[in-house]
Amino acid sequence: MNPSIEEKVEMMLDYILKKCLWQFHSRAWDRERQNQGVLSKTSELLCEEPVKTDTPEDRCYWVDAVCLVDAYRQRFPWLASMGKGEIKELMALLKEKLDFVTITGSLNAELTDQHY
């Protein structure tokens, strides 16, 4: 059985929410930057594209992305049959969903507290 793109996003999101500590920054802008950094590098690695690792921040995101790619390839064999365009679409949907769950849809008031 080949899951739908929505099911794939949910499986990938479920893994992040259960296994990845990088999603727990205390401010919304930190979470947005972290989600973008890790997931963009994850997408590049899955698509076998060059990954920028010039800055310490880039290297930090890259390390998390390498771990995520390893886990995704092990758990989700359907990734191997997807083309680059499909992977990029999947990763964009995953980022959108992760941003909603961890930022815009979150009830955590600390995310927007100016004094925190």
Q: pLDDT tens-digit profile of 60-104?
A: 999 999 999 999 999 999 999 999 999 999 999 999 999 999 887
**Amino acid code (one letter) for 67:** C
In this model, does residue 114 exceed pLDDT 80? no
pTM strictly above 0.75: yes
- Bigger pLDDT: 7 vs 25: 7
Chain Cα centroid distance, residue 103: 13
114 secondary structure, DSSP code: T
The confidence band for 113, taking pLDDT boundaries of 50, 70 and 90, is low
Describe the crossing of helices 28-46 and 84-99 by its angle, rounded to 10 degrees: 160
Share of the chain above pLDDT 70, in %: 88
The confidence band for 35, taking pLDDT boundaries of 50, 70 and 90, is very high
Report H helices in the chain: 5-19, 28-46, 56-75, 84-99
- CA dist., res. 94 & res. 37, Å (int): 13
